[in-house]
Amino acid sequence: MISVHHYLLLSAILFCIGTFGVLTRKNAIVIFMCIEVMLNSVNLTFIALSRHVGNMDGQIFVFFVMTVAAAEAAVGLALMIAFFRNRESIDVDDFNMLKW
């Protein structure tokens, strides 16, 4: 029998994978994918908990998270393209113009 704990455990693992990826990967697109994994693990948590507590608030929240993630993707990819046009790279090691 799969209980809510299994879902929570799975989403916690996914969230950690995402966080770890953001902190260790060098390619901007991969980092962005890791952030999406984090957001989707949150969505999974919301849906499992929505079922668990027995109201719809969590599922509605997921719609908003997905919408916002789509808007963020549009803006983020546009920023990456602008950076790539100037530097011909999207490696985060090349984000080095600004430092003290």
Partner 1 sequence: MDANLVQEAMQNVNFQAIMPSLVLSVFGMVLLLVSVFSPRGKTTHVAWLSFIALIVTGFVSLNGWNNPQAGFAGSVVLDNFATFFSMTCLIAAGLTILMSDSYLQREGYPVGEYYPLILFTTAGAMWMASGTDLMTIFLGLEVLSVSLYVLAGFFRGQTRSNEAGLKYFFLGAFSTGFLLYGVALIYGVTGTTKIDGIAQFVQAMPDSTSNVMFIAGGMLLLTGFLFKVAAAPFHMWTPDVYQGAPTPITAFMSAGPKAAAFAAFIRVTIIGLESLQADITAVFWVLAVLTMTVGNFIALSQKDVKRMLAYSSISHAGYALVGLVAWNEIGVTGIMFYMLVYTFMNMGAFAVLVLVGKKGEENLTIDGLAGMGYKRPVLGIVLCIFLFSLMGMPPTAGFAGKFYIFAGAVKAGYIWLAVIGVLNSAVSLYYYLRVMVSMYFKDEGEDFAWVSMNTATAISIVIALAGVLVMGVIPGPFMEMAKLAGF
Given the rule CB under 8 A, which residues bind partner 1? 8, 15, 18-19, 22, 28, 31-32, 35, 38-39, 41-42, 45-46, 49-50, 52-55, 57-58, 60-61, 64-65, 68, 71-72, 75-76, 78-80, 82-83, 85-87, 95, 97-100
CB of 1 to partner 1, least distance (A): 19
Q: Closer to partner 1 by CB, 2 or 64: give it.
A: 64
57, exposed or middle or buried, with CB in 10 Å at 0-12, 13-18, 19+?
Answer: exposed
Q: Supply angle C-alpha 95, 96, 98, rounded to 5.
A: 105
